[in-house]
Structure 1
C-alpha cells in the first residue's frame, strides 16, 4: 500500500509501499475488489495511485464524490468516470464479457442471486464488521461480535454446498465482494480479542457452516487475483489501529 504523503501528514509514519505479492503487480495500493476483477479477467489497465483524503488530484475532480476507486472509461466524447466498486465491477464484466472467467453466472436467476449477495456483503457484512472494529466496552463488543457472525453465517448458509466458492466451482462476484474483508479478519485477533470462530470439531450445531467457511476462505485466499493484491500483514495493523473509525475499509 502506498500513499502520497507530505512531512506534516498525520499518516506520515504509515508504511508507504505495497509489500509481498502485491508489490509484484503494482508498488502501490488499490481498492481490492476492483483490482481482483481486473486481474481475474486479465483486463489491461493503467494503475494511478491517489490518496483521496490528502490529495485533491485532478484525477478525482470529475468524480462528484471525489472517491476511489474511480475508473475512467473511453467514450466518443472523451473519457468519463465511474465510481463505486460494485458498479465498476459490473461495468467491467459487461464490457469485457469475452474475457474469462465470467464473474456473474450466465443463468439469469443465478445472476440475480449473485447481485443479492453482493448487496448483502455491502449492506450487512461490511457495516457490521466496521461496527465490530469500532465497538468499545465489553457489552458493545459482544453485541457487535454476535451481529457480525450472524451476518457471516447467513452468507455462508446461502453458499452452494458443493463448494469451494459461493456458487460451487465458479469464482464469482459474491466471492469478490467478501474476499478483501475475509482476508483481513485476522486483524480482529489484535484489536477485539479475535473473531472466535469455533475450531474444527467444536462448532456444535454450526459445525457444517464453519467447515464450509474454512473451505471458502482457503479457496479464495489461494487465488492469484486475491493473494497478489494483498500487502504483507505487518503493514495493515498500524493503519487499523490508527484509524479505527474508517467508514470504508475497502480503501485498504
Structure 2
C-alpha cells in the first residue's frame, strides 16, 4: 500500500523550479527543500546545492535507520539520517546534518557572517525582539492557519479565522514599514512570508481577507510579496491546489495535519 499523499506533485515548479536548476552544483552546504530556510538562503546569497525531497515519500538517506546522537536539532551522524523526524527543511554542512527551519536560518547567520543582509538585527535587544516574534509566528500564526484550513464546520472556521486575524494583527501592530523592523528585511519577514504567500487559499475557501486584519497588514503583505527572494521560491499555484485540497477536506496526512487533528502542537 502506498504512503498517503505520496502522489502529490513532488518537485518545485515555475520560478522555484528555475531557482532549483540554478543550484545543482555540489557545494559545502546541501539544502533539502523547505520554504522559510530557502528564502533566507536566497536573501543572503549563500552558495548551496538544492536537493528536492518529496515531503510525503522521503528517501532512505534522508530518514536514515538510526542515529547516534540527537540534541537540539543536531544529528551528529549525518550518514544515519538527515532528519530522523522526516521533516523538511534540513541541511548537510561539512558532513553534519541540521534541521528545524528557524534554527537553520539562525545557523546561516552564524556560519556565513560575511553574507548580507543580516537577517537578525545586530543590536542584542532588537535580536531578542525578533526571537519573540518568531516564537509568536510559530505558536500562533502557523497553528491558526492550519486550523482554519482543516476546520470543516462553518462555526469552527469562523473561530479559527478570527484567531488567525488576531495573530496577524499583533504582528501588524509592530511593523515599522515597509518591513517588520523598517527598511531592512529580517528573519521575522522570512518566517511569516510563506503564510502570506499562501493566504489566497483561505481567502478563496475560508472567507479570510487581509483587510479584516488591518490596513497596515495589507500594505505589509504587499511589500513582502514583492521581495525577490520570496518570488524566486514560489511554485505554480496549480500544484499547490492538490496539496491544500487535502487540508481543506481534512484528509492530509502530514505531521502538521495530524497534530492539528489531534489537538497537539505542530512538530
Native 8 Å contact 1:37 1:89 kept in 2: yes
Question: SS at 1:47's partner residue?
Answer: strand
Structure 1 residue 135 displacement after superposition = 1.1
Structure 2 Cα separation of the partners of residues 105 and 38 of structure 1: 17
Residue 99 of structure 1: which of 102, 115, 122 is its match? 115
Question: SS at 1:59's partner residue?
Answer: helix
Residue aligning to 1:170: 184
Aligned CA distance change for structure 1 residues 135 and 12 (closer, same or farther; 3 Å): closer
Aligned CA distance change for structure 1 residues 238 and 157 (closer, same or farther; 3 Å): same
TM-score by length of 1: 0.82
Structure 2 Cα separation of the partners of residues 191 and 247 of structure 1: 22
Aligned CA distance change for structure 1 residues 13 and 50 (closer, same or farther; 3 Å): closer
Unaligned runs of 5+ in 1: 1-6, 204-208
Show the 5 A alignment for 1:1-252: 10-11=4-5, 14-26=8-20, 30-61=33-64, 62=81, 63-74=83-94, 79-160=95-176, 163-192=177-206, 194-198=207-211, 210-243=214-247, 244=250, 245=252, 246-248=254-256
Of 172-181 and 139-148, more deviation after overlay is shown by 139-148
Structure 1 residue 18 displacement after superposition = 2.4
CA RMSD of aligned residues (A): 2.3
Of 216-225 and 8-17, more deviation after overlay is shown by 8-17
Aligned length: 227
Structure 1 residue 14 displacement after superposition = 3.4
Native 8 Å contact 1:165 1:216 kept in 2: yes
Aligned CA distance change for structure 1 residues 65 and 8 (closer, same or farther; 3 Å): closer
What whole-Å deviation, never above 9, does each CA across 1:120-163 have from its counterpart, x for those lacking one? 10111100111111112121111111111111101111222xx1
Structure 1 residue 64 displacement after superposition = 3.0
Unaligned runs of 5+ in 2: 24-31, 65-80, 258-267
Structure 2 Cα separation of the partners of residues 33 and 109 of structure 1: 23
Structure 2 Cα separation of the partners of residues 135 and 242 of structure 1: 12
Structure 1 residue 66 displacement after superposition = 2.6
Higher relative contact order (CA 8 A, sep 6+): 1
Structure 1 Cα separation of the partners of residues 126 and 138 of structure 2: 18
Native 8 Å contact 2:6 2:54 kept in 1: no
